[in-house]
Amino acid sequence: MNVRTPLLVASIVLSSTWARAAETDCPRPDLWDRYPQIKQEVDHGLAKLKDNLAAFEPEVFLAKHPALAKMAQSTNWAQRVRALKAIAALEDPTGIPLLVAGIMDAKDEKSLNEAMHPLTMWIATRSPRDRFKPLAPLFLDILVKTPDWPSVRCRCLQALGNLADSHWLGIIKELLVSRHPAVTNMSPWVIQQVASRRRTRGGTGTAGALAYLGAIDLVLGLNATNYKPSEKELAVIVEKIQRLVQSPPADREDDRVFYSQDIGWHDGWIPMSASLQDEPPNVNYVRTWRYRAGRVCSVTVTEAGRLPWVQQRLWYNSLGAPILSLRYYPANQPSYFRWGDYDRAGLLRRVVQLKADYSLVSVNVYDNGPKYCRTVVREFGAQGRLRSITRYADSKVTYTDVTRDAAPKVVN
């Protein structure tokens, strides 16, 4: 099957139709002259965006969705729009070059609005949105160069309200001037959103923006089949773990105590049991669970003929989110550590598993929807290769073993 590579059609230049329209009906042709620093930043961001689109491995998306990729590059525009919507619904970052290519290939107001809709809606419903920051220069460039097309302007303003840094507020305020109520009605929301956002180090759309969440997220420029924390990141994590382990949380009289025989782990790092009870069962092997403020602090095993030993201990941050889960051997020696990282919205983004000697075992990268309404967990091995994908959505848990090239399976 000869599928045109999305990277070949994703050049970041406006189509000739846009250019002609801009010459005759550009709302503010002098804006770039009066905001030269932002113009330079946008130009650099667009150049950087091309680099990041090129960093994707086209075969990743093509291999997973060959029919959809072909449909997304069709000369039949209605068919192509349907494909763009389907790609955005997948929420697979490797499909972003095709969405951008659709925007670049639009020829008029109607087609540009249709092409922008899937991507801008994806941005609006994702948290955090910082992974999409490298796209901000694209939307500002379109907003400056296109005529006063209400649907297109609303799409651009919606995206910029979610992505633009506060130092863009001046030029955005000027672009809010329109004869169309749909555009002017967006003004208060856009101004409030942009004014409240701090500038990203390095500028919007630059390498600094790509590193905004460190290496926690699979953002533009980081493909979905390889990921490994840097040595510097791991050293920071180890230092934090060592500091916490030196002062484990002590048991308190106000801790709530439960008992069980079984134990399980939520996402492999938070201990849990579906059969907790208030009194210890009359058996030879019992687990004692200590809870504080509704959160499990430790799990201790009591076995006939042996001294009790702590099987699991947890530490939490100031917001009450778990950051360290430590599992022990029966001799109370560490077995392995799991460290959790969170974004600025408080959503879990990464869990790093280390052996007792602090060598890397695996990394789980979390792609969470708002309030955890949808979660995709990508598991990477010590060498950085993708091993599995677990998707929690629509009351289903779907697991894919990537190493065996197996089809996804519903496991709940």
Q: pLDDT tens-digit profile of 98-150?
A: 888 888 888 888 899 899 998 888 887 765 566 688 889 999 999 988 888 88
Q: Give the integer Cα–Cα distance in Å for 183 and 151.
A: 8
Return the pLDDT at 383: 92
Q: What is the mean pLDDT of residues 154-160?
A: 91
- Which of 11, 4, 133 lies closest to 73 in space, CA to CA? 4
pTM: 0.51
407: phi then psi, degrees, rounded to nearest 5: -70, 150
pLDDT tens digits along 36-86: 999 999 988 888 776 666 655 556 777 888 888 888 888 899 999 999 988
End-to-end alpha-carbon separation of the chain, Å?
Answer: 36
- Nearest one of 278, 273, 268 to 366, comparing CA atoms: 268
Exposed, middle or buried by CB within 10 Å (0-12, 13-18, 19+), for 94? buried
Domains, the chain: 6-210 (1.25.10), 231-410 (no CATH)
The pairs formed by 250-256 with CB atoms below 8 angstroms and a separation of 24 or more are 251/290, 251/297, 251/298, 252/292, 254/292, 255/290, 255/291, 255/292, 255/297, 256/290, 256/291, 256/292
Across all residues in the chain, what is the average pLDDT? 80
Using CB atoms within 10 A of its CB, is residue 64 exposed (0-12), middle (13-18) or buried (19+)?
Answer: middle
Q: Which residues, 6+ apart, have CB-to-CB distance to 236 below 8 Å?
A: none
Q: Cβ contacts of residue 109 below 8 Å, gap of 6+?
A: 146, 147, 149, 151, 152
pLDDT of residue 55: 58
Q: Tens digits of per-residue pLDDT, 218-272?
A: 333 334 567 888 898 999 999 999 999 998 888 899 999 999 999 988 877 899 9
- At residue 38, the pLDDT reads 92
- Please write the tens of the pLDDT for every residue from 379-400: 999 998 888 888 887 778 888 8
- Tell me the per-residue pLDDT of 169-221, one tens digit each, with 9 for 90 and over: 999 988 888 888 878 778 888 888 888 775 544 443 333 333 323 333 333 33
Most confident of 113-127, 144-158, 360-374: 144-158
Radius of gyration of the chain (CA): 25
